[in-house]
Amino acid sequence: MSTTKPKTKKIATKLLETAAPIDKEVRKELPKKATPEKSNAVSEPTNAVIVVELVENEIKSPQKKTKAIKAKVIRDSFSFPEEDYLKISALKKACLAAGIHIKKGEILRAGLHLLTQLNLDELKQAVEQVEKVQTGRPKAS
Give the mean pLDDT of 111-133.
93
Query: Looking at the predicted structure, is the pLDDT value of residue 88 above 90?
Result: yes
Q: What is the DSSP letter of 3?
A: S
Give the mean pLDDT of 83-106.
94
To the nearest whole percent, how much of the chain has pLDDT over 90? 33
- Determine the Cα–Cα distance for residues 89 and 118; give it in Å rounded to an integer: 24
Query: DSSP per residue over 17-73, as a string?
Result: HHPPPPPHHHHHHSPPPP----TT--SS--HHHHHHHHHHHHHHSPPPPPPPPPPPP
Cα separations (Å) of 131 from 5, 66, 82, 123, 134? 63, 47, 12, 15, 10
**Domain residues of the chain, as ranges?**
9-60, 82-129
Cβ-count burial of 31 within 10 angstroms (0-12 exposed, 13-18 middle, 19+ buried)? exposed
Query: Looking at the predicted structure, is the pLDDT value of residue 55 above 70?
Result: no
Which of 74-78, 97-101, 123-127 has the weakest average pLDDT?
Answer: 74-78
First to last CA, the chain: 76
Query: Looking at the predicted structure, is the pLDDT value of residue 45 above 80?
Result: no
- Determine the Cα–Cα distance for residues 48 and 54; give it in Å rounded to an integer: 10
Query: Looking at the predicted structure, is the pLDDT value of residue 64 above 80?
Result: no
Q: How confident is the model at residue 139 (pLDDT cuts 50, 70, 90)?
A: confident
Q: What is the pLDDT of residue 137?
A: 75
